Amino acid sequence: MLEVILNIDLKVMSKTVNVAFAKIAVALVALAMVFSVVAPASAQNVEDMSLEELIALVTQLQAQLGGGDDMSGGSDAAVCPYTWTRSLNMGDTGADVMALQQFLNSMPETQVAPAGSAGGPGSETSYYGPATGAAVSNFQMKYRAEILTPLGLVNPTTFFGNSTRAQANALCVAGGDMDDDMDEDEDEDEDEDMELSGEASVDAIEIDDVADDDIEEGEEDAPVAEVMVEFTDGDAEISRMDVQLLGDGEANTNTVEPWEAFESVSLWVDGDKVAEVNADDEDDYLDEDAGTLRMSGLDIVGMEDEELDLVIAVTVMDGLDANELTDWDISVEAMRFFDADGVATTEEANDFELGDDVTFTVQEAGDDDELDVSSSSADPESTTLILQDDDEEAYVVFAFDLDTDDSTNDVEVEQIIVDGAVASGTPVADLVDGNDVRLLLDGDEVDTDDVTVAGNTITFDFDSGDLVIDAGEEITLEMEVTFDALLPVNEGSEISFSLTGNTTKIQAEGADDLGASQISGAASGETHTLITAGIVVLAEDVETSTDTSGDNDTLGEFTIDFDVTAYDGDFYITDNSAANTGSDGAVFLIEGPATTTATITSTLTSTGDEDTTGVFTVEDGETETFTLRVTADVATSGDYRVTLRKVYYSTNTDGATGAVERALNPVQDYRTDYETIQAN
C-alpha cells in the first residue's frame, strides 16, 4: 500500500503545484486509511486520476467509512443539534456520554481516541473514562475564555460541568453549526495569558468557617475554611497566598507542631484543586515558628466587582497523638496579586480581614461514627403461626432497622444478639430450631460466621465484610426462623423478640470500635402465638352503644365478634362468659372509673352447633363466628370499655374438662372504644 501511496503522491504533485500541501496531505492520509478496505483494482487505477477525481474518491470512501466531509473536523458534529442536561464525570454512563464523544470527535484537537479505537470517530461508547476526560480538558482549553476564565481557572479539568456543558450546548443546540469556530486561527497561542483590565485593588477579603468543622485523622482534602476575595477598579490575578496553621489560641508552634498532624494544605475553586503544598515537614513552612505555608504560582483570576470564593482544605495524618487531636486555627496572612498593568500588590495581616482565623477540630477517627437501632415498619403484625410436625417452613418473626445516620465512616457490624421472650417462661431455645435461623436483607440471606440459640438469646456473628452499612444509610434486617415441633405443654406459646442498641447486644466498628455512646435505640417485635393443634381466634368486629333505662340512667352495651378456626381436630367451647376470671368459655375485662361497683351481665353465642348443655362445636378446619355481648349498669358515671382477653377450648365434649387457654394478642384488636355511661 505504501508503494501505491507514493505513486499517487508523485502523480498528484506532477498534475498541480498550486494546491495547498495540507489538502494533499489530507487526501494521502485518508487514502492510506481507506486502501485497506477498497478493492485492489481501485488502487491500481488511482494513479491515472486527476486531482479532482482523487478528492472525489476520498470523499466517497470517507462516507463509506462513516467519516465527515471535512477531514479537519470543521463540519457539523453528526450528533448536533443536541442538548446535554446533566453534568458528567469519570465513571458516568449513558446515551448523553456517547453524544458527548461524538461531539468531541468532530474536532481534531478534542478527539477522544484515534479512528478505529474505542471512543474514536465511529466507535463512540456510552462510558465516560479517562480518554473522554482528557478530551473534555482539551475542549475547555480550546474555549477557555468561555469556560475557564469566568471561573477564575487557568488549568482545565476533566469534569463536564455547568460551564463546559453550557459552551457545548451553545455550539451544538442551535443546529450544530460549528464552522465559524473551526475557521478560527488554529495557530493561536492557547497558553497566552488572559487579558486583564483596570488597575485592580482589593475591595474585600473575608474568611469564614465551613458547615462541618469537625474532621477526623486520616481525612483527605477536608474543607476547613472559606475565603471570599473581591477586587474593584479592575481585574486581578492572584499569584500567591500565605496560610498560617496553629493550635487553637497558640501564638507559635512551640506547643503543638502542625507538621506532626497535617500532610498537606490545598486551595480549591469551584470544586477543583488549584494548589497544594506539603505540610508534613517543618522545612515545608515559610516560617516554621509561625506555622506559615506559602502557595505560589496560583494564577487565579478575580474579575472586577465579582466575588471569588476559595476553599482551604487539609489532609490529616493517621495515628495522631492526644495533643494533636485538638482545635486548630487557620488564617490567611498575606495575598499577592497583579493587575492588568502587571503591578504587583501584597495585602498582609491587618489589611481587611487578613490575619483573622477560623477554628476547626481534628478528632480521633471514628468519633462521629454511630449506629442507631429502631423498630421497623416491616416487623410482621401479631399473628398465630400454625405449625406442622413435619413442616420445615420458615417464618419472619422480627424486623428492625439499623441506621448509621450522620456517621462519618461506614459501619461494619460484627455481632448482633437478639433477645426473645416466651409468655409461659419456656426458653426460646426450646421452641426455635437453632440450625435454621437467619437474617435477611432485601430478601437475601446475610452471610454469617455463626448463629447460636441459647436460652432466650439468638446470637449472630459476622465475618469481616459480611454486614457493612454505608455511612448515612439505613437498612432493614428481618429475622427468619424455623420452629421445632411443639410439645403439648408448649401449645399456644406466645413468643416475641427485641434488640437493644448497646455494646452488650451489638458489636460494630467504623474507623474504630463503636463505644457505648455510639450505639443507641431499641426495637421491639410483635407477639406471635404458636400452635400445631387447637384454635385460632381472630377479631372481626367490636361495637359500643348505650341504652336509656331511666331519666338519668344509661346502660353500656358492648359487642365483640370474633372467629374461631379449629386445626388438627374438633374443639369444644362452652357458652360461659365472665368478667376478669374464668376457666372455660370467654373471659373479658371491663375498664372504667369504678368497675367493682358495676352490675355486669354477658352472653356468648355462636354460629357453631350447640348441644343441650350449652357447648359449641368447631369442627377441624372449619371457622365459626362467636359474639360476646356485655351490658354494664354502673354506679359511677364515666367512660367504660370492654376487652376480650381469653378463650378456652377443650377436646372434651363438655368444653370444660382439660380446657386450654388461648390468650389474645394484640389486645387492641379485641377491645371496644370507650362509651360514656351515666349512673343513677
Give the DSSP per-residue string, 276-300. EEE-SSGGG-SBTTTTEEEEEEEEE
Strands in 211-271 per DSSP E: 214-216, 222-234, 236-247, 262-269
- Numbers of helices and strands, H then E, in the chain: 9, 37
pLDDT score, position 389: 64
pTM of the model: 0.51
Confidence of residue 186 (pLDDT cuts 50, 70, 90): very low
Confidence of residue 188 (pLDDT cuts 50, 70, 90): very low
Average pLDDT score over the chain? 83
pLDDT score, position 364: 82
Q: Could you tell me what percent of the chain has a pLDDT over 70?
A: 84
3-state secondary structure (DSSP) of residue 33: helix
Residue type, 404: T
pLDDT score, position 342: 84
Quick one: cell of 302?
478575580
Burial 579-602 (b: 16+ CB within 10 A, else e): beebebbbbbbbebeebeebebeb
Peptide bond into 666 cis (omega under 30): yes
pLDDT score, position 451: 96
Q: Is pLDDT of 65 > 70?
A: no
pLDDT score, position 226: 95
pLDDT score, position 557: 92
Q: Is pLDDT of 93 > 50?
A: yes
Identify the architecture of domain 534-677 in CATH: Sandwich (2.60)
How far CA 533 is from CA of 488, 494, 646, in Å, comes to 9, 14, 17
Confidence of residue 659 (pLDDT cuts 50, 70, 90): very high
Q: Which residue has the higher pLDDT, 505 or 388?
A: 505
Residues 657, 660, 663: CA angle, nearest 5 degrees? 145
Q: Is pLDDT of 4 > 70?
A: no
SS (H, E, C) 133-184: HHHHHHHHHHCHHHHCHHHCCCCCCCCECHHHHHHHHHHHCCCCCCHHHHCC
pLDDT score, position 247: 94
Residues of the chain with CATH 2.60.40.10: 198-363
Q: Is pLDDT of 326 > 90?
A: yes
Range name among 45-54, 388-397, 658-667 with the lowest pLDDT average: 45-54
Residue type, 526: E
Quick one: cell of 641?
370499655
**Cα dihedral sign, 91-95-100-102:** positive
**8 Å CB contact between 474 and 404:** yes
Rg (the chain; Cα; Å): 41
Mean pLDDT of 382-398: 84
Mean pLDDT of 288-301: 91
Residues 578, 580, 584: CA angle, nearest 5 degrees? 45
Phi, psi of 234 (to 5 degrees): 150, 175
The Cα–Cα gap between 581 and 662 comes to 14
Confidence of residue 25 (pLDDT cuts 50, 70, 90): very low
Range name among 77-81, 95-99, 138-142 with the lowest pLDDT average: 77-81
Q: Which of 148, 84, 137 is CA-nearest to residue 110?
A: 137
Q: Which residue has the higher pLDDT, 165 or 458?
A: 458
Range name among 81-90, 149-158, 465-474, 494-503 with the lowest pLDDT average: 149-158
10 Å Cβ neighbour count for 377? 7
The Cα–Cα gap between 607 and 595 comes to 30
How far CA 384 is from CA of 222, 337, 574, 651, 653, in Å, comes to 54, 78, 22, 19, 24
Residue 516 burial class via C-beta count within 10 angstroms: exposed 0-12, middle 13-18, buried 19 and up = exposed
Q: Which of 416, 376, 415, 414 is CA-nearest to residue 396?
A: 376
Q: Which of 488, 460, 481, 492 is CA-nearest to residue 392?
A: 481
Fold of 198-363: Immunoglobulin-like (2.60.40)
pLDDT score, position 35: 43
What count of residues does the chain have?
A: 680
**8 Å CB contact between 373 and 506:** yes
The Cα–Cα gap between 337 and 241 comes to 9
pLDDT digits (tens, 9 = 90+) for 101-140: 999 999 989 999 998 888 999 899 999 999 999 999 999 9
Q: What top-level class would CATH report for the domain 371-531?
A: mainly beta
Pairing status of strand 599-606 against strand 571-574: unpaired
- Read out DSSP for 551-562? SS-EEEEEEEEE
472: left (phi over 0), alpha (psi -120 to 50) or beta: left
Residues 140, 143, 147: CA angle, nearest 5 degrees? 65
Quick one: cell of 431?
421452641
pLDDT digits (tens, 9 = 90+) for 408-420: 889 999 999 999 9
Residue 230, strand partner residues = 204
The Cα–Cα gap between 322 and 307 comes to 39
How far CA 446 is from CA of 410, 479, 501, 514, 521, in Å, comes to 17, 10, 20, 21, 22
pLDDT digits (tens, 9 = 90+) for 602-657: 999 999 999 999 999 999 999 999 999 999 988 889 999 999 999 999 999 999 99
Mean pLDDT of 325-332: 94
Residue 346, strand partner residues = 336
**8 Å CB contact between 348 and 305:** no
The Cα–Cα gap between 77 and 65 comes to 16
**8 Å CB contact between 295 and 238:** no
Q: Which residue has the higher pLDDT, 340 or 47?
A: 340
Q: Which residue has the higher pLDDT, 3 or 176?
A: 176
Q: Could you tell me what percent of the chain has a pLDDT over 90?
A: 53
How far CA 280 is from CA of 283, 317, 326, in Å, comes to 9, 9, 17
Mean pLDDT of 23-43: 39
Strand order through the sheet with 554-567:
534-548, 554-567, 623-633, 599-606
Q: Which of 154, 172, 179, 3 is CA-nearest to residue 75?
A: 179
pLDDT score, position 390: 59
Residue type, 196: L
Residue type, 242: D
Pairing status of strand 384-386 against strand 450-454: unpaired
pLDDT score, position 48: 54
Quick one: cell of 406?
450522620
Quick one: cell of 305?
466587582
Question: By 3-state DSSP, what share of the chain in percent is helix, strand and coil, each rounded to 5?
Answer: 20, 40, 40
**8 Å CB contact between 676 and 634:** no
User: Element (H or E) spanning 436, and its range?
Assistant: strand 432-441
Q: Is pLDDT of 356 > 90?
A: no
